[in-house]
Structure 1
């Protein structure tokens, strides 16, 4: 279980290579944040993360999978990450 984010923030959980890239398992980011700006915000903090990790990852908000590409397409009401939400970055995992 992740710690509760501070007021005005949401938690982002980094799994597998996302955690390796950021050297973090969890981080609090300021809320609200439109979902379509999430990857840009992370790219500003961690140069190269979008191409290396995010473009191949799944994203959840409060345990519900969301489509980051669709969020900014204008075809749906804009999804906004709110205070207290939990976002997870889930890169592909291989098994052997």
Structure 2
């Protein structure tokens, strides 16, 4: 069976998921952003869209790209492609 193209794949977007403090700061759980985007450009793009998010939220968050943790501030040439899934994950604690 062939996979049908989803709107995210055909529209040239990727999905970004916000959790906990990131969700509270943006007032969103999920949104679409234009793809492709260099991973290194993600935090500046979010800071432009949500002023203050970098210092108040992102500094302590992990980022995953298609289920794998990545360093969003490393210049390693990683592209967030069309249809990708990015998650902004604040630190979790156990007790």
The answer to whether the superposition gives a TM-score over 0.5 is yes
CA contact (8 A) 2:65 2:86 kept: yes
- Which structure has the larger Rg? 2
Match of 1:59 in 2: 63
Q: Tell me, which stretches of 5 or more residues in structure 1 are unaligned? A: none
RMSD: 1.6
Match of 2:40 in 1: 36
Moved over 6 A (4+): none
Partners of 2:53 and 2:27 in 1: CA distance: 12
Alignment map for 1:1-96 (pairs within 5 Å)? 5=8, 7-70=11-74, 72=75, 76=76, 78-96=77-95
TM-score, structure 2 normalization: 0.86
Q: Give aligned pairs, total.
A: 89
